Amino acid sequence: MTGSTILHARTINHRNAPTEVREKAHLGEEQAVALMQAVAEIPGGVAVIPVSTCNRTEIYLEVTEGADSPAILREALDRVGACTDVFFGEHAVVLDGMEAVEHVFRVASALESMMLGEPQISGQLKDAYRLSRLHQEPGPVLLRAFQGAFRTGKRVRTETHISKGAVSVAFAAVELARKFFTRLSDHTALLVGAGDTGSLAARHFLQQDIGRLVVVNRSPQRAIELAEVLREEKRTGKLGDARELPQVETESHYGLVDQRPWEELAEAMAEADVILSTTGATEPVILPEMVHRAVASRKGRPIFMLDIAVPRDIHPDVAGIGGAYLFGLEDLDEIIKGNLAARQRQVPHAEKIIAQELAEFRQWLADLDMLPTVAEFRTYLEELKNKQVGFVAKKESPEIAAAVDRSLQQFIKKVLGRSVSTLKQARTEEERQHALETLHRIFGEDEPDKD
């Protein structure tokens, strides 16, 4: 790509490979580091950045011009015990040069994600990049490609709304809960169920500044463990800017996050302003009589109930109880579909940003190609200047010699500037290459000293 190095990429992702193939392709951290070391040891290999997530494993390889990139990658993968055949099989997509650059720009912008606009991929790419910098020195093209990808992704996230709106059930449920109240920080949420979806919903509640979160689970140990993890994450700032509020005076209170035993579910319901239920029960766990008692004890304050379990956790008859407002997966599905459609409308804007960044990358590549020749030209002119200044210094005062030096330095600056400008303004690549070759032929090799 630069006249000295070439970028080669291979991707196994959710668009072209089933789960079992993606599992075979996955590279753990130790394998990723070993792959970097292997590439560096193989002639022609410059550097490699492997990226492995649950939905994709991608390898970005930089090699010297003329090197056999597939052969280098195959040998490196074999050395580290990876499933080499997967990367050379029917499910692998091969990308070279600018195609590879465009792909990593799109990945960083979350246009290639399973869930359009999801923000996690940016952090995953940065983790892979940091690991790479710890164990190797990426080549100029690989370095610039990833830095450009990070800049592109940031622009897409800040200049478009492609990451706005909930597109997961847990997040959609919390987003819906936000619409019930002026400020979530004045209210209590009850989480019934401490599995993966419940844990995710709990984090979303805390990120949205819920005043108090109570966790109830059939397995009390699981509820205790989740509450402890959430409190620790909150304490260390991993949950964003959610702030601590004055403690609510209850016997079991531990701060922003509580847990209560399953036997106290009915009492916890009476204290909650919003209930999110997501257990794995086969029968409803929240029954009409429980809701009747909870509503009666709240003195007119409503309860908003979100049932995101399959099968349903909340008995459907609860929908007819005054003071209780029940929402299910169908309601959340409409929110998610609307948000996905809104994100899809942002794609053209995102692709325009990517096109702008790719144009800058191409210009950088063009400039990079001419740097060695321009450097040779600069060296030639500097040598001429030094000879002339030396000649003047033998016959004139130091002040005059210094003045000549400054004058010639300005002359060199103008000549170089004009030359670089002319190269950049070449109408075709052939014209530009011809100019570079002419400059290199005239000034690139040392001439015998005729003095």
Provide the residue ranges of all domains of the chain, joining segments of one domain with +.
Answer: 5-162, 169-342, 370-443
pLDDT at 251: 35
Contact 117, 123 (CB under 8 A): no
pLDDT digits (tens, 9 = 90+) for 366-391: 777 666 666 667 787 888 889 899 99
pLDDT of residue 213: 96
Sign of CA dihedral 174, 177, 178, 183: negative
Catalytic residues: 54
- Looking up tokens 């070759």 gives 437
Rounded Cα distance, 196 and 170, in Å? 10
What is 5-162's CATH superfamily? Glutamyl-tRNA reductase, N-terminal domain (3.30.460.30)
CB 196 within 8 A of CB 169: no
The token pair at 352 is 């325009």
CA distance 31 to 442: 48
Same fold, 5-162 and 169-342: no
Please identify every stretch of the chain with a pLDDT value under 70, giving residue numbers as ranges: 1-3, 238-255, 369-376, 423-426, 429, 432, 436, 439-440, 442-451
Measured distance CA(419)–CA(440) in Å, rounded: 12
Residue 325 contacts residue 304 (beta carbons within 8 Å): yes
Pairing of strands 5-13, 93-96: antiparallel
Q: How far is CA 81 from the centre of its chain?
A: 27
- What is the rounded CA–CA span in Å between residue 33 and residue 285? 48
DSSP assignments along 193-214, one per residue: --SHHHHHHHHHHHHTT-SEEE
Half-sphere exposure of 13 (CA within 13 A, CB side): 19
**Residues 6+ positions from 102 with CB-CB distance below 8 Å:** 354, 358
Q: What is the pLDDT of residues 396-434, one digit of tens each?
A: 999 999 999 999 988 888 887 777 777 666 677 677 677
Please, is 398 exposed, middle or buried when counting C-beta atoms within 10 Å of its C-beta (0-12, 13-18, 19+)? exposed
Pull the structure tokens for residue 180.
């019930």
Q: Which of 175, 178, 205, 176 is nearest to 190 (CA)?
A: 205
Distance CA 91, CA 13 (A): 8
pTM attached to this predicted model: 0.69
Superfamily of domain 169-342, CATH level 4: NAD(P)-binding Rossmann-like Domain (3.40.50.720)
Q: In what order do the strands lie in the sheet with 93-96?
A: 45-52, 56-64, 5-13, 93-96
Residue closest to 318 by CA, chosen among 365, 353, 285: 285
Q: Which residue from 200, 117, 99 is spatially nearest to 153, judged by alpha carbons?
A: 117
pLDDT value for 429: 64
Residue 121 β-bridge partners: none
Tens-digit pLDDT profile for residues 38-79: 999 999 999 999 999 988 999 999 999 899 999 999 999 999
In DSSP terms, which residues pair with 276 in a beta bridge?
191, 306
